[in-house]
Amino acid sequence: MRARFITAAIGIPIVIAALYLGGPVFFVFMGLYSLGAMYEFCHMLGLSNGLSTVVAGALVIPYYLNLYLHFLPWDVYLLLYIIIAASIFFVFSYTKLTFQQSAGLIFGGLYIPVLASTLALVREMDQGMFLTLAVFLVTWGTDSGAYFIGMLLGKKKLAPAVSPNKSWAGAIGGFITGIIIATAIGILIKGNVLIFFLWGCAAAVLGQVGDLCESALKRQAGVKDSGNFFPGHGGFLDRIDSLLFVSALAYIFFGVLL
């Protein structure tokens, strides 16, 4: 518990500072965080430390540079990434990587940096600081609501094969908490309350789905946590499993409706 508190006491101010500064600072922050999460993902696939570092850097750094500097349109870059990554992983690394590792790396190159980068894109929107803060608060609120309600009332398991501790009561508690927080934010920033309510409904569901997705990945890899960089909290990927889905939804939702 002490380790969790100390990590949070150090980490939260860093996140808030990067969020407040925005611009290139927040892009660099998300790029570095994605790099750490991608490294852990490579390690979960069974790659060595050295190869995990090289592959994570090759997948994350060019993506964020292109996203910030706009060398290529976003859709063109992703198509080239899939073609080039498939060629390298399936053909040129045939003797070094299994099919599962190659396919996993292509998936991970989309799952982590692309979804994580949507948080930086939300920060660039009008009222971006408040919208990005909303993503954090709804994600954390949903997780906390699910945890505490699950502890009090959780009996029927939600997905025992994937995450034995999660319950239907916890999922419903997280859902309600996420909606309340999203609606309250809409009221506080004088936004369209209906849009924030609807986003809260979807975000509170997808955030928990994101958590379960990472739990399933860890089960397949046979690990409890994606890493141990944050004492008491696990790894990079453990801290953003829900955030990845909520952020991507926010980018689509607010980009279309606001």
pLDDT at 164 > cutoff 90:
no
Indicate the pLDDT class of residue 235, thresholds 50, 70 and 90: very high
What is the pLDDT at residue 7?
84
Q: What is the reported pLDDT for 107?
A: 94
In whole angstroms, give the CA distance from residue 24 to residue 4.
29
**Angle, helices 113-123/49-69, rounded to nearest 10 degrees:** 30
As given in the structure block, the two tokens for residue 188 are 């506080």
Average pLDDT over residues 76-103: 89
Q: What is the mean pLDDT of residues 114-138?
A: 95
For the chain, the average pLDDT equals: 92
**The pLDDT of residue 193:** 94
Q: 222: alpha, beta or left, given left = phi > 0 and alpha = psi -120 to 50?
A: left
Instruction: Taking residues 214-237, report their average pLDDT.
Output: 89
State pLDDT tens for residues 25-75. 999 999 999 999 999 999 999 999 999 999 999 999 999 999 999 999 988
Q: Of 55, 154, 62, nearest to 104 (Cα)?
A: 55
Residue 117: pLDDT over 90? yes
> Is it the case that residue 100 has pLDDT exceeding 80?
yes
- Enumerate the β-bridge partners of residue 167: 157
Quote the CA–CA distance of 73 and 78 in Å, as a whole number.
9
Give percent above pLDDT 90 in the chain.
72
In this predicted structure, what is the pLDDT of residue 1?
64
What Å distances lie between residue 166 and 3, 54, 153, 211, CA to CA?
23, 35, 11, 10
pLDDT at 236: 94
Structure tokens at 3: 């380790």
